[in-house]
Amino acid sequence: MDRTPPIWLVANAASGSNSDAALDDLMARLAATGREPARVVRFPDDPLPARADLDREGVAMLAVFTGDGTVNAQCTRLYGWQGAVLVLPGGTQNLMAKALHGEDVSVEGVVAALEQGSLSSTRRRLIRCAQGDALCEIVAGPGAVWADVREEIRDGDLGGIATSLGEAIRRSASDPGVMIVEPATGREEGYPAIRLHPGATSMAVDAYGPQDIAGVAQQAGAILRRDFRTGPHDKLGEHDRVRCRSSEPIELMIDGERRTGSRDETFEIMDCDVNFLSSIRQHE
């Protein structure tokens, strides 16, 4: 009798580079290793499982084949769960998958590591604010609208890309910037975008705010390459707590999902009470 604890799989065929064909390929690969999921949760048609759902069915591993936004929505429901989450690259940026398995992460590589038994359990840090928790990053400021361009690029809508890019550049240049008031650092007038991302012990803070035509062009190019992070920016160090302020409600992008905050937002580094499976050991 097979006593291997069941695996569940969460998939979102609408995420990034994901598709029904990619899901079928993943299922075949898992089945070939003897780890075929007992259940496939097809989000958003199916609700994301909570701790109680997994515990009731004796699930020991939850594989998540989605983009970073759905990874966030799923994992923030599992705080305190004793099982382990296996994040697979199923989105556009796959920041969480890259953090756990390396920049060259692939479905084939992660499944091979699972079959070889070379994955290790690890804990990570997250960033908490009043609008939610971020496992990968928070972007604060009008530059959060850069995410809209990413979605248009994903859908291949050339007209939408041009419109969204123009709106993103206009808002970055004209909307009130975000200032870092605690600790006092960066430009007094603030920035169009401040990016905070968790490290092993603290959160790194990068500020984006090109001040000339060349810088704007570089940032636009970075947005069109789907990675605004490569645009011109200032590194403002690593901190445990950061307080930001603006004259208008602060636009936020939390793990790729848009939200609107208050005029004063505080971000703090926290332990993430979730066990993740990793191919690399630098997170331990």
- Kindly report the backbone phi and psi dihedral angles of residue 51, in degrees, each rounded to the nearest multiple of 5, phi listed first: -50, -45
Domains 7-118 and 133-271 share a fold: no
Distance CA 269, CA 260 (A): 20
What is the model's pTM? Answer: 0.87
What is the residue-level pLDDT of the chain in tens, covering all 284 positions? 355 678 999 998 766 667 888 999 999 999 999 999 999 999 999 999 999 999 999 999 999 999 999 999 999 999 999 999 999 999 888 999 999 999 999 999 999 999 999 999 999 999 999 999 999 999 999 888 776 666 655 655 556 666 666 666 667 666 788 999 999 999 988 998 899 999 989 999 999 875 544 454 555 555 555 566 666 678 999 999 999 999 999 999 999 899 999 999 999 999 999 999 999 864 34
Contact 78, 22 (CB under 8 A): no
Domain ranges of the chain: 7-118, 133-271
CATH topology of domain 7-118: Rossmann fold (3.40.50)
Architecture of domain 133-271: Sandwich (2.60)
